[in-house]
Amino acid sequence: MTRQAVWAVVTGMYDAYTRGDRAGIDRLLHPEATIFDSAAPDLITSRAQLDKVRDARPTDGPAETGLHAYDEVVDVWGDTALARYLLRVDYAAGEPEIVRTTTVLRHLDGEWLIVHVHENSL
C-alpha cells in the first residue's frame, strides 16, 4: 500500500500540471524541494527559482495534449521513497517526448512529499 501511496503523489503532480493547477503541484512538493527540470540547465533550489522556470516556459511552443507516467519502479525505506519511471509528453503535432525521471519523497507529518525530481529527456 505504501508504494501505491507514493505513486499516487507522483501521478498527482502530473495530474495537477495537466489541469494547470500550480498550487496543486506545490502542495505535493516539500518547501525546500530541489528539481532538475528537463527544460532548465541548473538545479532549482527554491520555490522562487521554480516559479521563474515555470513563467519562462514559452506560451507559443508545441501544445501539450497529455502526460503519462509509466514503467515505474518504486522503493520505500522507512520514511524515504524513490520512484524511477518514464514520462511521455504528448503534443498536438509531432512525436511524443520521453523523459527519464527520478523522484525522491519523504514521509513527513503523515504525508508523502516530493523532495527532489530529476528529469532527463531522451
In sequence order, what are the residues at sequence separation of 6 or more whose Cβ sits closer than 8 angstroms to the Cβ of residue 56? none
User: 115, 33 in Cβ contact below 8 A?
Assistant: yes
Q: Which pLDDT score, from 0 to 100, does residue 16 have?
A: 97
In this predicted model, what pLDDT tens digit does every residue of 1-12 receive, in sequence order? 799 999 999 999
**pTM of the predicted structure, to 2 decimals:** 0.93
Which percentage of the chain shows pLDDT scores above 70? Answer: 100
Q: Is the pLDDT of residue 61 over 80?
A: no
In sequence order, what are the residues at sequence separation of 6 or more whose Cβ sits closer than 8 angstroms to the Cβ of residue 115? 30, 32, 33, 34, 104, 105, 106
Q: Which pLDDT score, from 0 to 100, does residue 91 have?
A: 93
Domains identified in the chain and CATH numbers: 2-121 (3.10.450.50)
- Asked whether the CA dihedral 60, 95, 39, 75 is positive or negative, the reply is positive
Q: Is the pLDDT of residue 48 over 90?
A: yes
